[in-house]
Structure 1
Amino acid sequence: MSNVSFVIVYVDDVARSEAFYASILGRAAVESSPAFAMLPAAPGLMLGLWKRDGVRPPATAAGGGEIAFTAENNAEVDALCAAWRAKGVTIALEPTAMDFGYTFVAVDPDGQRLRVFAPVG
């Protein structure tokens, strides 16, 4: 398992949130679109701002974010999903291809979302 590399928060207005976080972090976004922006939060840690109405599975009012873990490839995503399921972890989204990569979503005991993904490219 790799280290936590990405924290995602759900936002209503990506541009507004991108400007806010760029201002307080003192770092510009390295990726920006109407639906998603990504900023370096710390060495080895990125902050993602994802437009709430585009999140899959749909975002809930509580929680409002997820911790993302980067996998090496699609096979590792599948293996981790199976391993976590075997440990009794609830899987909210089965492994699936999305525009950013191959991913699944689990939830911790408090309902926080944990996303494992193998990035595209």
Structure 2
Amino acid sequence: MDLSNFTILYVENVRRSIDFYLPLFEREPAQISDGFALFVSESGAKFGLWAKHDVTPKIQGRAAGAMEVVLEVSNVITLQINHTKWRELGVNIIQEPIELDFGTSFTAEDPDGHRLRVFCYEKS
């Protein structure tokens, strides 16, 4: 079995989540329906948004905040540019850029409380 390059987040409101992710990803979803949207990157990685009330089997417990979606950038300058852009867009930044064992990163939350970590292996 191969590991997939497909992440799905369960969201309260698909349209609100599309509006949140559009300026971050700088691309339109490749697919949209009432309860689902799919973004596809240049590399072919897929990122889905699924209305949590439509998920089968039904969600038990908390659907957000217990994991992270990690978005890798090539260097610290690109990381800083994204941090500034996201802050200007009003994204909730829960960890400012910081140097950690694995490199430099910052962490944000989407409207449903999903954690988004932007990182690069480079240290500042």
Q: Could you say which structure has the larger radius of gyration?
A: 2
* Larger proportion of strand: 1
